[in-house]
Amino acid sequence: MAQPLAERLRPRTLDDYIGQKHLVGENAVLRKMIEAGRITSFILWGPPGVGKTTLAQIIANRLETPFYTLSAVTSGVKDVRDVIEKAQKGRFFNEASPILFIDEIHRFSKSQQDSLLGAVERGIVTLIGATTENPSFEVIRPLLSRCQLYVLKSLDKDDLLQLLDRAIHTDIMLRERNITLKETAAMIRYSGGDARKLLNILELVVEASPEGDVVITDDIVVSRLQQNPLAYDKDGEMHYDIISAFIKSIRGSDPDAALYWLARMIEGGEDPKFIARRLVISASEDIGLANPNALLLANAAFDAVNKIGWPEGRIPLAEATVYLATSEKSNSAYLAIDKALDLVRRTGNQPVPLHLRNAPTKLMADLGYHDGYLYPHDYPGHYVAQQYMPDALKGQQIWQPQPHSASEARIAERIEKWKDGKMEKLKN
């Protein structure tokens, strides 16, 4: 049975490797290490199909040292320990450390990652990990601190076109078909910068074509695939990157960019309720008291999506997105609650002043609970100066109105009038 095209075309040397010039181009850091024949432990982080496993295999071919491979999907702690024991027994004095390549290292549990620490630290093995997920979230800190981190990028259009050209002209099976790439936009779009996916698409289209010469067009690719090229893994990195771009565009008051990222999520099949929840959070975090109606509108959009469903739900989501993006912004409430939480954690359980305590029993009243409390509604403007903070925190200011917000400026002005004592006690 013939190997898949992606496997047949897997590069064996750095000169055949496509993309990642910042890592393996001339005088780049990884190329220098590989050519010197000595590498340190490192983790390769990047999306699928950009050459992480291939790079590890090129290192295995280039360096004259034992090379062990584990998959985090199928391996357990025992497998890790077995490999470490083999590496330790098979190593000769002054010989370079054996290499242990772990694919999808983010899938290793904490205990599995812990089992690697000692061997990496003592140089029993040189670790190469590959991951599609952010290592700062998925790899334990002690292990991450012992490894260099190299970020691989999605292949760009030129890289993908180079790969297509190599495939149709050098692969022993494809070159017999006399393939013409009349149009490539659909294949590039569907691949999403993933070399493996691109080659799988090419192979599928060629195999589905009649015998003889093959002319590939965008229409042929679309008809063969019948799938959404914009879909993405809801648990993957792109999910978080796109929602981050969406929220930051709203925060940055750019309605066009916010609508673009909203459309990306809709086309990618994102859960509408997830988008609506983020709008509610943004209305509170980024707009807040500068425009309290933003929270009402975001909640209304959430409610509307639940009521009317899809695809009409995209309309209230778009309305809320534009409204939030074009609204005045203030994060004073967001900053204030974090400041208050920090104050509580630093100062502990401060006692409630007696005059603020409830006195439902005679004993409590005799102890002074509620004694001296001034009822604000008995005073002009429904305000009277009195202590509300614990004694140890008297005078502490937490909320800071932001002067650029017209709404908060009015609130600040009203507070200052209260504090200046311009409201006199009502005459009894």
411-428 tens-digit pLDDT: 777 777 776 665 444 333
User: What band does 135 get if pLDDT is binned at 50, 70 and 90?
Assistant: confident
- What are 187-213's pLDDT values in tens digits? 888 888 889 889 988 988 888 888 888
Question: Above pLDDT 70, what percent of the chain?
Answer: 92
208, two tokens: 């589905």
Please give the pLDDT value at position 162: 94
Spatial distance between the Cα atoms of 181 and 177, rounded to a whole number of angstroms: 12
183, two tokens: 């149009």
Q: Which residues contact 130 (CB under 8 A, 6 or more apart)?
A: 43, 44, 52, 53, 56, 101, 102, 103, 104, 105
Question: Above pLDDT 90, what percent of the chain?
Answer: 24
User: What band does 164 get if pLDDT is binned at 50, 70 and 90?
Assistant: very high
What is the chain's length? 428
Q: Span 51-78, mean pLDDT?
A: 84
Instruction: Evaluate if residue 293 carries a pLDDT over 50.
Output: yes
Q: Span 342-349, mean pLDDT?
A: 86
Mean pLDDT of the chain: 84
Q: Span 107-132, mean pLDDT?
A: 86
Q: Which residues contact 35 (CB under 8 A, 6 or more apart)?
A: none
Contact 167, 174 (CB under 8 A): yes
Residue 370 buriedness (CB in 10 A; 0-12 / 13-18 / 19+)? middle
Q: Which residues contact 239 (CB under 8 A, 6 or more apart)?
A: 232, 233, 270
Q: Which residues of 219-236 are buried (b: 16+ CB within 10 A; e: fewer)?
A: ebbeebeeeebeebeeee
Contact 48, 57 (CB under 8 A): no
Spatial distance between the Cα atoms of 265 and 275, rounded to a whole number of angstroms: 8
Spatial distance between the Cα atoms of 144 and 140, rounded to a whole number of angstroms: 6
Spatial distance between the Cα atoms of 333 and 287, rounded to a whole number of angstroms: 9
Residue 285 per-residue DSSP state: I
User: What band does 251 get if pLDDT is binned at 50, 70 and 90?
Assistant: very high
More confident residue, 277 or 387: 277
Spatial distance between the Cα atoms of 293 and 409, rounded to a whole number of angstroms: 17
Q: How far is CA 116 from the centre of its chain?
A: 26
User: What band does 227 get if pLDDT is binned at 50, 70 and 90?
Assistant: low
Please give the pLDDT value at position 237: 53
Spatial distance between the Cα atoms of 323 and 67, rounded to a whole number of angstroms: 57
Residue 228 per-residue DSSP state: -
Nearest-Å Rg of the Cα atoms of the chain is 31
- Taking each helix axis from N to C terminus, what angle separates 52-62 and 29-36, rounded to the nearest 10 degrees? 30
Q: How far is CA 245 from the centre of its chain?
A: 10
User: What band does 298 get if pLDDT is binned at 50, 70 and 90?
Assistant: very high
Spatial distance between the Cα atoms of 369 and 363, rounded to a whole number of angstroms: 9
Spatial distance between the Cα atoms of 38 and 126, rounded to a whole number of angstroms: 10
Q: Which residues contact 335 (CB under 8 A, 6 or more apart)?
A: 400
Contact 65, 95 (CB under 8 A): yes
Please give the pLDDT value at position 229: 53
Instruction: Evaluate if residue 235 carries a pLDDT over 70.
Output: no
Instruction: Evaluate if residue 48 carries a pLDDT over 60.
Output: yes
**Count of CB atoms situated within 10 Å of the CB of 92:** 6
Instruction: Evaluate if residue 14 carries a pLDDT over 70.
Output: yes
Q: What is the dihedral of CA 200, 205, 210, 215, to 10 degrees?
A: -120
Query: Scanning the structure block, which residue is given the tokens 């584990």?
Result: 70
- 3-state SS assignment for residue 40: coil
- Least confident among 77-81, 143-147, 171-175: 77-81
Instruction: Evaluate if residue 141 carries a pLDDT over 80.
Output: yes
Please give the pLDDT value at position 68: 87
- The torsion angles phi and psi of 375, rounded to 5 degrees, stand at -85, 110
Q: Span 278-291, mean pLDDT?
A: 91
Contact 91, 43 (CB under 8 A): no
Q: Reading across the β-sheet that carries 42-45, which strands appear in turn?
A: 67-71, 99-103, 126-131, 42-45, 148-151
Q: CA 269 → CA 92, 121, 227, 229, 305, distances in Å?
A: 54, 43, 12, 11, 15
- The torsion angles phi and psi of 93, rounded to 5 degrees, stand at -55, 130
User: What band does 168 get if pLDDT is binned at 50, 70 and 90?
Assistant: very high
Spatial distance between the Cα atoms of 13 and 59, rounded to a whole number of angstroms: 9
Q: Span 216-220, mean pLDDT?
A: 90
Instruction: Evaluate if residue 95 carries a pLDDT over 60.
Output: yes
